[in-house]
Amino acid sequence: RLKDIELAKLGDSDVHVKMLAAPINPADINMIQGTYPILSPLPAVGGNEGVGEVLEVGRRVAALKPGDWVIPGTNALGTWRTQGVFPEETLLKVPSDIPVLCAATLSVNPCTAFRILADFETLAPGDSVIQNAANSGVGQAVIQIAKASGIKTINVVRDRPDLPKLVERLMALGADHVITEEMLRKPEMKEIFKSIPKPRLALNCVGGKSTTEMLRHLQPKGTMVTYGGMAKQPLMVPVSAFIFRDVRLRGFWITQWRKDHARDQESLTTMMDTLCQLIQRGQLTAPVCTEVPLQDYKAALENAMKPFISSKQILLL
């Protein structure tokens, strides 16, 4: 429910932030349902992502000043609020000249896309990747980051009534090929691989049958990275894929990456700088968003849970 709570007192190392916008992501809903690996102690404020403007800083805060824009540097910050007081180390500064929706959706999906493209296979311009759930927030970021690096993308989506519109939208973002899950089994796939090499990297956000079909097209010794499980079904991998093609199956969770690199400020800074530069150059845009005033949060939550929704619900705060 929407509730007025008293603002915490500003400590020496704290930052008073006016929140501007915060998205509703699947992980946020999983946390509310109690099924996510990280759960906030109750009562809790929802939201893991968003952007805010600094209003005031404690006397020991050196890296931030009023007027700066900040995004969460940690999980479960509770971003669905109008204002908050947060410890300085839980926040990351971002340029205030990037679009507000780009900043609000920066800390989860684009970071996931950046890491899964960079950390598992060494890709060069001309190489290709294949991904399912290509119209998801991560999927849209993968298309754009890959395009900026000269990497080709084969993008798998579920068949739907407005498929031509979706294909057009993903192609406009820089997708090289957009296909349905059914097409993965068809001979037309051979046509695709006449013009681009088979992928060394497959990105899986679905699980179940979609994953098995996608795996068929992976190069020998290629890697499949699973970062989501939207079908809520296990991965089915033929034994032959392991024995005769020596494929690797890996997993990725941005929260774990942040924990593992908590003392590696350089990796985090490099990633955020690269993503912000792509945004400033117009090479990385926010996913398709529906902006919803905070008081209409119930409708936003309902819409975020509907199938075939390609638009991310963003709470305006």
Catalytic position from the list 36, 80, 86, 120 = 36
Token digits of residue 144: 């754009």
DSSP state of 263: T
Instruction: Note if 227 is an active site residue.
Output: no
DSSP state of 158: -
How far the first Cα of the chain sits from its last, in Å, is 15
Would you list the DSSP string of 43-99? S----S--EEEEEEE-TT--S--TT-EEEESSS----SSSEEEEEGGGEEEE-TTS-
Going by C-alpha positions, the residue among 39, 42, 11 that lies closest to residue 27 is: 39
Beta carbons within 10 angstroms of residue 89's beta carbon: 12
How far is residue 175's CA from residue 302's CA, in Å, rounded to a whole number? 29
How far is residue 204's CA from residue 192's CA, in Å, rounded to a whole number? 20
Would you list the DSSP string of 7-55? PPP--TTEEEEEEEEEE--HHHHHHHHT-SSS-PPSS----S--EEEEE
Cβ burial, residue 253 (10 Å; 0-12/13-18/19+): middle
User: Which positions are annotated as active-site residues?
Assistant: 36
